[in-house]
Amino acid sequence: MTGFFNVSDLHAVTALVGRFPVTEAEEVPLGDALGRTLAGEVASDVDIPGFDRATMDGYAVKGADTFGASDGSPAWLRLAGTVAMGDEPAFALKQGEAAAISTGGMLPDGADAVVMVEHTDQVDGATIEVYRSVAPGHHVITRGEDFEQGRPILAAGTRIGAAEAGLLAAAGRATVAVRKKPRVGIVSTGDEVVSVDTTPTRGEIRDINTHTLSAMVTEAGGEPRALGIAGDGEGDLEPLLNEALASCDMVLISGGSSVGMRDRTLAAMEGADESEVLVHGIAISPGKPTILARIAGKPVWGLPGHVASAMVVFEVVVRPFLLAASGSAEKARPFVSARLTRNIASAQGRTDFVRTRLVPDGEGYRAEPLPGKSGLIHTMVHADGLVRIERDTEGLYRDSRVTVHLLP
């Protein structure tokens, strides 16, 4: 079935994200899980820590035994023993007793606090003096204080960063169930496009989009698969599209900035089995001539050929679909608020994304819009983020405060 749409609002496009499936789960070693997305909720198999743990070197005590202790009037405690690291103490603390303990050691039963070694003196082999009062719980991490056994510690959809990897280690997850990386087929189009290892003759240009888009797919947690360059001839694109559909979870076809090529891309999409064109044009700049079709249940994108346009469309439109495909509940990119260094013009009726450099300026940043045609790659190298200008805004004045969404 084929549907035709007028130019869509950005939010209407983003709302289509639920029309596409999430990848399957797979079990991977914890060491390979960085950047991956948790397939399910994770609970800890143990209390973390599993015992009351000293956070200082000193003596495990009953806090009450030290109340009122001072330099002038120290508390005298009997040494009940020494805690060996990694072992459960074989003794319990009775009133008036203390046990030598190192950071990380397990408090003996009966102890509820640690007094720092600096605040004690050993009188003889059996007795210490304590010069400070410690409250119960002081210099101790109590059993289950970090996490309790069985309590969910990470939600499904969490992206695994360093802290999450630590948490999973603490919870005993030597392997982790994560979503498979969405495989993304990437096709460039155009008779003028040649591969990176070719020296272009006059009229030709090297394929840039395959490389920028592959990198952005990787950054977003996908697995790019570069399928090559399709010419402008009738039927040139279909074999690569079919190959991509057979092996990938999502397809990106870039190029086709000319009306003829765009029609060719659209025709190839419409000609595929189980195809429905959901979006044909988005009210954004750059990136208006973007196409989204659902083919055999998979998202197939027609992206602008201009390199900066393709990158912006990937960032603001495609990336949320890729994150959703891996089940990610990732938060939005961080943003900074900054003052514009000059006016930006904008047309009403579309959402503009302006490539912007951030220049540190005391406590904050100045936002310097980067002019440049969307067919040029070099401005993207200098861009730190994008300023979004809503469709009901005509433009922004110099010195106004703008929100800059950071690029990776």
Distance in Å, CB of 20 to a second copy, minimum: 23
What phi, psi does 340 have (nearest 5°)? Answer: -70, 140
Residues 6+ apart with CB under 8 A from 23: 179, 180, 181, 182, 249, 325, 326, 327
Distance in Å, CB of 256 to a second copy, minimum: 9
**Residue 377 contacts a second copy per CB under 8 A:** yes
Helix (H) or strand (E) holding 213: helix 209-219
> Is-contact 237 264, C-beta < 8 A?
yes
How many other β-carbons are positioned within 10 Å of the β-carbon of residue 158?
A: 21
With tokens 């999973």, the residue in question is: 168
Tokens of 127: 């007795």
User: Would strands 364-369 and 335-340 be described as parallel, antiparallel, or unpaired?
Assistant: parallel
Residues 22-41 interacting with a second copy (rule: CB under 8 A): 30-31, 34
Q: Which one of 9, 364, 370, 393 is in contact with a second copy (CB under 8 A)?
A: 364
Residues 296-355 interacting with a second copy (rule: CB under 8 A): 305-307, 311, 334-337
Residues 62-91 interacting with a second copy (rule: CB under 8 A): 84-89
Tokens of 30: 């914890």
Residues 238-297 interacting with a second copy (rule: CB under 8 A): 257-261
Give the 3-state secondary structure of residue 268.
Answer: helix
**Residue 117 contacts a second copy per CB under 8 A:** yes
Distance in Å, CB of 140 to a second copy, minimum: 9
Candidate ranges 13-21, 66-74, 167-175, 345-353; the one touching a second copy (CB under 8 A): 167-175
With tokens 């410690």, the residue in question is: 134
Tokens of 170: 């603490």
Q: Which is nearer to a second copy, 49 or 110 (CB)?
A: 49
**Residue 148 contacts a second copy per CB under 8 A:** no
Residues 126-145 interacting with a second copy (rule: CB under 8 A): 141, 145
Q: Which is nearer to a second copy, 24 or 204 (CB)?
A: 204
Q: Which is nearer to a second copy, 29 or 96 (CB)?
A: 29
**Residue 152 contacts a second copy per CB under 8 A:** no
| CA–CA–CA angle 227, 233, 239 (5° rounding) | 35
Distance in Å, CB of 274 to a second copy, minimum: 30
